[in-house]
Chains A and B, each alone.
Chain A
Amino acid sequence: MSTKRVGKILKISGPVIEADGMLGSSMYEVCKVGEEGLIGEIIKIKGDVCTIQVYEETDGIRPNEKVIGTGAGLSAELAPGLIGQIYDGIQRPLPLILEKTQDDFIRRGVIAIPLEYDKKWPFVPTIEKGAKVTAGDIIGTVQEGPVVNHKVMIPPKVSGTITSIVKADDYTVLDPIVTVKSNGTELEIPMLQKWPVRFGRPIKERLEPTIPLITGQRVFDTFFPIAKGGTSAIPGGFGTGKTVSQHQLAKWSDAEIVVYIGCGERGNEMTNVLEDFPKLIDPNTGEPLMNRTILIANTSNMPVAAREASVYTGMTLAEYYRDMGYNVALMADSTSRWAEAMREISGRLEEMPGEAGYPAYLASKIAQFYERAGRVSTLSTAERQGSITIIGAVSPPGGDFSEPVTQNTLRITKVFWALSKDLAARRHFPAIDYLNSYTLYTNELAPWFAENVNPRFQAYRSEAMVLLQKDKELEDIVQLVGPEALPESEKIILESARMIKEDFLQQNAFNEVDSFSSLEKQWLMLKIIIDFYHKMGELYNLGVKLPEMMNLPIIDKITRMKYIPNDNVGKELGAILAEIEALQVDAITNRIGGRMMTDLTDK
């Protein structure tokens, strides 16, 4: 890099400053601003004047204070030690800031490095001297906490022959562990890599998304599944449960690594995650969820420029673990705050605004971000696959989905989980609008569900969707003529749709059992409701009236089936299915009989 440039501040306007004497600086180069060395990033260059967005408060800064260019773009530090951390938007670890300053508040000018440079990690080499390596090749592993086996890789753009490698022992992330000789020069490589956050890490090729991300949430997995490597948007007005949905996905998704970006949201919500995740157990590993999670917290009152950077920081960490061959889920809550940060900076630059004051490049920025998702074949000699699934919350003003952030997001994401104010007001949670939401992965994922859950899964799912659609039409009629005017056969549809809504779609995030539903449980629950719907039709044809059916003890069992623990579902839900199967009309009394006769009397 060239020598450090030192410029002087020309003008200060909130988080945006201008400095002159900066000739030779490059776009997105990181600068230290003012006597306190506040961190900023160059976002506009005109002659020797640079415009810099500053990641900290600028109160008290004066014109003519110095600005020093660092010669490098905003980069993430990548090495063992990321898992379980909580960072701000520019990868400063919040616990370390607290420890260093002994202050519960974040004052500006705090310098905190992302990783502990003096901590030693147990490195185990997996490659030998003389081997030929290219970028992305695994040279060794480090056990990073109880869950994650951290793969140490040759950084991008490097290839050659290994001329030396350390033996298995404890090393810091800065200790050189291999020497690679390429084109006559020897390069010492430590575990630590740096990567500029605004650029995607390279991959070999993109693969088709054919495996679902299992979330344990019935409305997502059964009705609107997302693929590993897919993208989804959850838009919703306030109080519709965006954050609870995001937390549920972060908790129960079967991704190996979760990156959770709290972008411009509430401080207490991050605290909630910090308190909950170390206690909650991941059903896939049996270990606390925190052992696979990285948090990025740039709450709404933290500096706005760092909020803009936070989604890129989180994405870069996700890509690093994807490159190791892991399935990563990235939650961004909320991308609207990120877009607003862009708008605020753009306004300070006095750029010509596009729709609703957002900058004209809003759509391309959103598209670029979501395009960093995907299932890929990673950069390396041996074949290795990893994925990043993005789940972005969107907070449309007034709950109006026609606003630019929602619309531009929907143009690019393939799954749309719409949150409905109406459902939320009915306390139907998760308040996913089952009629308006969609997934474009149905066909790609169908073979997987047929093979791993049940060949008839798709058929049952479609039938349930049809019932919900019919229910909507019938509800409109009921609003006009009252429920009594409907024929019995349509009342059966209403009752069945009610079961789908109340007993299947509604899922209690705060109930220990109901919070996570295994796929087996989801399938059996769906089958129970649909089979019962068919049975009601049969019974009706034999002359049984609906009120009598609704008084069957099986109804109570269906109502409470969501509270059956995942371990017992095969047996207990199987018993309910058998009971439905056995329902029949007694030819003599013309009443419902079957082998469960004894249960008919209410306890």
Chain B
Amino acid sequence: MTETPKINPETLAKRIFKTAIEVTGPLLFVDLKGKAGVSYGEIAKIKLPDGEIRSGQILEVSRDIAVVQLFEGTSGMDVEKTTIQFLGETMKLPVSSDLLGRIFDGRGEPLDKQPPIVAVDEWPINGSPINPYARQYPREFIQTGISSIDGLFTLIRGQKLPIFSANGLPHNEVAAQIARQAAVLGAQAEFAVVFAAMGITAEEAQYFRKEFEKSGALDRVVLFLNLADDPAIERILTPRLALTAAEYLAYECDMHLLVILTDMTNYAESLREIGAAREEVPGRRGFPGYLYSDLASIYERAGRIKGRKGTITQMPILSMPNDDITHPVPDLSGYITEGQIILDRGLHRRGIYPPINVGPSLSRLQKEGIGKGLTRRDHKELADQLYYANARGNDLRNLVAVVGEESLTEEDHRFLKFADDFEQKFLKQGRDENRNIFESLDIGWELLKIFPNPKRELKRISEETINFFHLERRDPKINYNSRDV
């Protein structure tokens, strides 16, 4: 690990400057007066004229000038009395297993009125890229208890699967339900949760806390809270702190982590603010050109590593401004994450919870994480069939809206009915309803009973699978609630 060497107090004293020359947006320019030794990425403490202390980080440094980004903003700063002290090290998070059960603010300072944790080590918050050669491909199924996710967009341990949502949609409920119910089939190991809030309201944060409390999981949760009224620039740090905590717990304490990051759109907007203050050439919609790389440096910190027990599964939540999936944040996220779960306003209006839009939702890691020994042998084919039948039913719905039901064939009618049942019975479920994977799959089979001639109408399922798993052909002597059947 490359770390800037700790600097002794004497040199530290020399690194105090009273030479701020410009304040703009969240940035402070400091004249270094030719004194060398300040490094790129170094953190600084800034003392305001009224005695308040704020923190910042160097964004650019030359022999003469350092550009410091202020996490808590620059209001109240002047260029005359403000004092800047560079601390000689890059941003680090003190880590130990005591992180569990604690609540921090968006900069990693305790919020729960308890003393700072007794650190075993200090980890740089930017992390380092995992060597692709050291990665292990994620294959373990996580049961979330939500039929649509388990059945159609299976979450895998070590995956990064975001929820694309929008104003007024129940993404928090979905995320909390997943955090509460997530379990690995046949394993006792429970998930620890790292929760990073970026710019969400105090009410929303409270909701999550209550949810964790309700399930008695608060001692397995680490919270980093940057709320809507907290400094926006601080949000640049929050997900990195959260992931550093997660990496420590996963790779040093052998735990399985679920990291919830909400809301990534707020994060990206803070990044845009800094970019604008630095007068950078903007990319799409004013977001900086490096937004992709920056988001990747967060999302890619999910995964599994060969020979290590712990894993990091990420569930970022991001809101699509104006429900627009082509907005840079959902768009670039979709290119980095391994699938996406998209919430839909139409379904929500019809009272379907969780309102997951089956069409464009996807789990890229599903194919390797399901099947015999993992979930059940029929899973893949059944999922394809459900998906296909629902898509066809939805297409017909649109057609009916134009030409009426009369011109439909009998088969078409069955697909229409299927799509309705699918919404009501498969998609829709209670906020506390925890269905195991076999229940979810069998609801699927139940719905397919509508097709009287399965061999002909269920083209996505092989004859062999139909003969074995179709509800009307099951062998009462066989236990179908098994992943090895």
Contacts and interface: CB of A to CB of B under 8 A. Distances in A.
Interface stretch (B167-175, B194-202, B216-224, B384-392): B384-392
Contacts of B283: 343, 356-357
Contact of B37 (A62, A97, A299, A556): A62
Contact of B132 (A237, A264, A270, A395): A270
Contact of A60 (B90, B280, B284): B90
Interface stretch (B47-55, B56-64, B76-84, B181-189): B56-64
A398 B331 contact: yes
Contact of A425 (B251, B332, B359): B359
B391 A104 contact: no
Contact of A274 (B2, B133, B408): B133
Interface in A551-601: 556, 559
A473 interface: no
B346 interface: no
Contacts of B63: 10-11, 63-64
A58 interface: yes
Contact of B133 (A58, A94, A399): A94
B297 A64 contact: no
A299 B129 contact: yes
Interface string A319-358: 0000000000000000001001101100100100100110
A341 B283 CA distance: 13
Interface stretch (B102-110, B288-296, B469-477): B288-296
B449 interface: no
A485 B391 contact: no
A40 B296 CA distance: 22
B328 interface: yes
Contact of B387 (A302, A427, A478): A427
A562 to B, nearest CB: 12
Contact of B300 (A94, A266, A485, A510): A266
Interface residues of B, number: 81
Nearest to B283: A357
B40 A60 contact: yes
B281 A397 contact: no
Given A94-B131, A268-B135, A301-B301, A347 B289 contact: yes
B132 A271 contact: yes
B132 A105 contact: no
A275 interface: yes
Interface residues of A, number: 77
A57 B126 contact: yes
B321 interface: no
Nearest to A510: B367
A60 B289 contact: no
A63 B39 CA distance: 7
Interface string A473-502: 000001111111100000000000000000
B308 interface: yes
Given A60-B90, A266-B336, A97 B131 contact: yes
B79 to A, nearest CB: 21
B338 interface: yes
Contact of B136 (A59, A271, A340, A357): A271
A398 B61 CA distance: 35
Contact of A347 (B280, B384, B402, B459): B280
Given A425-B359, A425-B391, A485-B407, A60 B41 contact: yes
Given A104-B131, A266-B336, 13 more contacts: A10-B63, A60-B40, A61-B40, A62-B38, A63-B63, A107-B128, A238-B334, A239-B360, A264-B296, A301-B296, A356-B284, A482-B403, A483-B407
Interface of B: 1-4, 36-42, 59-63, 90, 124, 126-138, 158, 251, 280-284, 288-290, 292-293, 296-297, 299-301, 303, 305-306, 308, 325-326, 328, 331-332, 334-336, 338-340, 359-360, 362, 365, 367-368, 384, 387-388, 391, 399, 402-404, 407-408, 456, 459
24 contacts: A13-B60, A36-B2, A59-B40, A60-B42, A63-B62, A64-B36, A86-B132, A104-B131, A238-B340, A267-B130, A268-B365, A297-B132, A299-B129, A299-B300, A301-B300, A356-B283, A357-B289, A425-B359, A425-B391, A427-B387, A427-B391, A478-B399, A482-B408, A602-B456
